[in-house]
A and B are shown apart, each in its own frame.
Chain A
Amino acid sequence: MVVISCLEEPDCFTLNNNIVGFSIRDTIRDSTGIDTFAYFFANRSKTFRFTDTTSVVKEGDRVGLPVDFLHDSTELIFYKFNGKNSLNVQDTLIDTLVVAYRTQAQYVSDDCGERFVLSNLRILRHTFDEVRLLNREPGRDNNARNIEIYYYK
């Protein structure tokens, strides 16, 4: 009976599919070029930094960013340090991108609680050179590939 109950319960971890996958495309650098990024998120009430340290991202790398499932949009702020790992450098590029989506709540089980199902991802506005929406379904992990952002500068 215990075994059957466990099999019937879905995995209680990563139930929300609120990870939007970004692919970084820097047309200035080749595939070996390395830039340093930091990601910040904001909604109407708060802004916080996603990572404790800045992330080293190569051209073409993917990064998954969690968006706010309690609201229907999230503003994402991207800092690009042009090879230097510091927020104080002069040539840091700061770009913002606002994504909107449908968010729906669903009860899962007594053990797992609830989950949020996100769909119909859209780009409301951005300051990048170019942004392409590839897939409207956010994922549960970093393997999602939803948006390509392009640096031409």
Chain B
Amino acid sequence: MRTTLAISLMLLSWPVFAQTLPDSLKLDTAAIKKSKFLPTGLRIGTDLISIVKSQTQDDFSGWEINADVDLYRYLFEVDYGKSSRSYPGDSSAYSNDGNFWRIGLDANFLTRDEDRNVFFIGLRYGRARYSEQMSIIPRDENWGDGQRHTFSNNDLTAHWMELNGGLKVKIWEYVWLGFTGRLKFGLSENTSNPMLTHEVPGYGRTDRDTYWGFNYYVFFRIPFRKAYPILPPKKKK
């Protein structure tokens, strides 16, 4: 399903690579260069995968919202989300709850697209605040005591970096669809407590040095001003 939608998005975005400027376009290049770094709109979206997972998986609940503004060929990105996880069990139970945010910059490689579609690569800094609890009856032939032991971490923080890539494609006048693939790395967390963190909201499990993430977004774009005309490529002398 994910693969099919990804291919569909890529096919939808394909025509933008082939577009050319009309010859009749008269351009004030000085004015365009002066205003091209002013944002032309705010795009606000949400992750559809989190919503579907919350409805279909008993152990997960979460959502996230995303916003970006364009600065010429760059996109300033901010994400905020909440998630909770619960693994109930007789001898071993775990739950967590927290929120996270990401901030970063994307470089758009579709600079000549009049529909403002985006094919991007970017970096994110992510940070989470969360609490977690664990209740266990250790199973060990030597030291298992048959007693229930409880552990908890309250109000912890963690941060990490992400290398992102993806697409945002205009579907209708104000509506965009898109996906983001995330390579998460450089997790830094509190490791001094009697309980080690199992999962950081927004990052994932902590027992791996790198972690993959994937989000499917629907966006609504609020235009601030008319977009600058696209400059023709410089002619080679």
List residues of A whose CB falls within 8 A of some B CB.
10, 16, 18, 41, 43, 45, 48, 50, 66, 68-70, 103-108, 110, 113-114, 116-117
Task: Give the residues in chain A near B197, CB-CB below 8 Å.
Answer: 106
- Asked if residues B149 and A105 are in contact (CB atoms below 8 Å), the reply is yes
Which stretch (B23-31, B89-97, B98-106, B217-225) binds chain A? B89-97
Q: Is B196 an interface residue (CB 8 A)?
A: yes
Task: Give the residues in chain A near B198, CB-CB below 8 Å.
Answer: 106-108
Cα of A22 to Cα of B194 in the assembled complex, Å = 26
Cα of A116 to Cα of B195 in the assembled complex, Å = 9
Task: Give the residues in chain A near B136, CB-CB below 8 Å.
Answer: 105, 107, 113-114
Task: Give the residues in chain B near A50, CB-CB below 8 Å.
Answer: 142
List residues of B whose CB falls within 8 A of some A CB.
87, 89, 91-92, 94, 134, 136, 138-140, 142-143, 145, 149, 151, 191, 193-198, 207
- Asked if residues B145 and A70 are in contact (CB atoms below 8 Å), the reply is yes
Please name 9 pairs of A and B residues whose Cβ atoms are closer than 8 Å in the assembled complex, sorted by A: A45-B145, A68-B143, A69-B143, A104-B191, A105-B149, A106-B196, A106-B207, A107-B87, A108-B198
Cα of A51 to Cα of B132 in the assembled complex, Å = 38
Cα of A53 to Cα of B76 in the assembled complex, Å = 68
Given A104-B195, A105-B136, A105-B151 in contact, is the A113-B91 Cβ separation under 8 Å? yes
Given A105-B149, A107-B92 in contact, is the A113-B139 Cβ separation under 8 Å? yes
The B interface is mostly helix, strand or loop, or mixed, namely: loop
The A interface is mostly helix, strand or loop, or mixed, namely: strand
Which of A10, A106, A107, A114 has most B Cβ within 10 Å?
A107
User: What's the nearest-Cβ distance from chain A to residue B94, in Å?
Assistant: 4
- Asked if residues A104 and B87 are in contact (CB atoms below 8 Å), the reply is no
Task: Give the residues in chain B near A103, CB-CB below 8 Å.
Answer: 194
- Asked if residues A70 and B207 are in contact (CB atoms below 8 Å), the reply is no
- Asked if residues A114 and B143 are in contact (CB atoms below 8 Å), the reply is no
Known: A16-B140, A104-B196, A114-B136. 17 other contacts (CB 8 A): A41-B142, A69-B143, A104-B191, A104-B194, A105-B134, A105-B195, A106-B195, A107-B87, A107-B134, A107-B198, A108-B198, A110-B87, A110-B92, A113-B92, A113-B139, A114-B92, A117-B196
Cα of A71 to Cα of B43 in the assembled complex, Å = 53
Closest 3 CB pairs of A and B: A113-B92, A106-B196, A107-B94
User: What's the nearest-Cβ distance from chain B to residue A46, in Å?
Assistant: 9
Given A105-B151, A105-B196, A107-B87 in contact, is the A66-B142 Cβ separation under 8 Å? yes
CB closest chain-A residue, reference B93: A107
CB closest chain-A residue, reference B141: A66
- Asked if residues B194 and A70 are in contact (CB atoms below 8 Å), the reply is no
Cα of A96 to Cα of B102 in the assembled complex, Å = 53
Cα of A70 to Cα of B87 in the assembled complex, Å = 22
CB closest chain-B residue, reference A66: B142
- Asked if residues A70 and B149 are in contact (CB atoms below 8 Å), the reply is yes
Cα of A112 to Cα of B198 in the assembled complex, Å = 13
User: What's the nearest-Cβ distance from chain B to residue A142, in Å?
Assistant: 14
Cα of A107 to Cα of B134 in the assembled complex, Å = 7
- Asked if residues B143 and A66 are in contact (CB atoms below 8 Å), the reply is yes
Given A107-B87, A107-B134, A113-B91 in contact, is the A70-B143 Cβ separation under 8 Å? yes
